[in-house]
Amino acid sequence: MTQPYIPPDLKPIIDFHGHFCPGLVLGYRAAKAGMERIHAMRSEDEELIAIVENNSCAVDAIQYMTGCTFGKGNFFFRDYGKHVYTLALRPLGRGVRVSLKGTMFEKEDRDERIAQILSIDENELFDIRDVTIELPSHARIHESVPCSRCGEPVMETRIKEKDGKGYCIPCFNEKS
């Protein structure tokens, strides 16, 4: 089979991710559907948030297209193992939940599966529904303090106390 048609806005996502695969295309379609539904633009700061419920290749497409990142504090991972992506706008939490419908991909060939994901109607591919969510807090910058054992700087909110000393999580969990 010949390689499927690649939409121009998908090409930089493939470059970002490193390879072309069905999971990346699934995330591309989910982000596109969600952003269109809530009329969202790529996030410059924290005006758009993304909550992803898996750590698959699809998540890279969500991150790239939405502009949501861990570093900006508007990208949230919930380890549920589901192809579910929630996008919401600040300040009201108006958003959309995009979830994959079943596992209906008949095609076993990688390129055929990609072509199927790219061509199927978004309403056959996803359950898309409007939601209003309680928004996570805006990102905060915390002070860093040195770990009493390794000396590496640690975000103050992650320090674990033991015997009156503060430790990073790995040092705290090490058996002495």
Q: What is the structure's pLDDT at 139? A: 76
Q: What is the structure's pLDDT at 151? A: 94
Q: Where are the beta strands (DSSP E) in 43-143?
A: 48-52, 75-77, 84-89, 94-100, 126-132
Q: What is the structure's pLDDT at 22? A: 94
The continuous run of DSSP H or E covering 22 comes out as helix 22-38
Domains, the chain:
8-132 (3.30.1330.130), 144-173 (3.30.60)
The radius of gyration computed from the CA coordinates of the chain, to the nearest angstrom, equals 20
**φ and ψ at 125, to 5 degrees?**
-80, -40
Quick count: other Cβ atoms within 10 Å of Cβ 140? Answer: 8
What does the pLDDT profile of the chain (176 residues) look like in tens digits?
567 789 999 999 999 999 999 999 999 999 999 999 999 999 999 999 999 999 999 999 999 999 999 999 999 999 999 999 999 999 999 999 999 997 666 667 889 899 999 999 999 999 999 999 988 877 788 899 999 999 999 999 999 999 999 999 999 998 65
Q: What is the structure's pLDDT at 28? A: 98
Cα–Cα distance measured from residue 137 to residue 158, given in angstroms and rounded to the nearest whole number: 17
**φ and ψ at 29, to 5 degrees?**
-65, -40
Q: What is the structure's pLDDT at 26? A: 97
